[in-house]
Each structure stands twice: as structure tokens, then as C-alpha cells.
Amino acid sequence: MLFSVIFFGVSWAASAQVYVKVRPIPPVVVQTPRPGPMHVWVGEEWNEDGHGGYRYGGGHWDAPPHPGDRWNNGHWNHDKDHGDNWVRGRWEGGKK
């Protein structure tokens, strides 16, 4: 029984979303030279800061984890009752 309660609590906490009433403003980031032909620029990207908000985590070059993967940009999602939450960008489409 105790295991079930702990498992449910951890599962629920892991799926909780952080909503903000005012979206944070992304900083100005200077795009550095591309390190290689496979790299793509990951611009606006936000990470939960553990205090009910978000911390900027974009502004870097990244290479796809698999050949043919493409970067699907993150975006803000609006919920009329809760506010805005960030939907993280992710790699999609290549061979797994």
C-alpha cells in the first residue's frame, strides 16, 4: 500500500506542469558560428526553475541524436484557466 502511494505521488509530481501568468522575455543571444554542417540552432527554449517559473536554456548549437532527425521548436501553450506553459522542443523523425 505504501509503495502505491509513493508511486502515485511521484508519477503525479513528474507530470505536473508549470504555468505562468506572464511569459518570460528571452535574453538577446548572439548566435556563434555553426560548428558543423549537421548542427542546428536551438533558439528559444525554457526549463522549469523549480520555483514556479522558467529559466532560459536556449541559444546553442546541437547535433541530431540520429541521422535524419530534425529539431521541432518548443512553443508556449496557453490555457485560459491557468496561464501559459512551455512545451519543450524535441528531435523527431530519424531512425531509432
pLDDT at position 12 is: 40
In a domain? residue 1: no
pLDDT at 96: 55
User: Does residue 71 form part of some domain?
Assistant: yes
Residue-wise pLDDT tens for the chain (96 aa)?
A: 544 444 444 334 445 789 998 888 989 999 999 999 999 999 999 999 999 999 999 889 999 999 999 999 999 999 999 999 999 999 999 765
Q: Does 4 reside within a domain?
A: no
* Residue 16, pLDDT score: 74
Select from 86, 96, 34, 88 the least CA-distant residue to 60: 34
Domain span at 77: 18-92
| Total domain count, the chain | 1
42 within a domain of the structure (yes/no)? yes
87 falls within a domain: yes
- Nearby residues of 54 by Cβ (< 8 Å), 6 or more positions away: 18, 20, 24, 46, 47, 48, 86
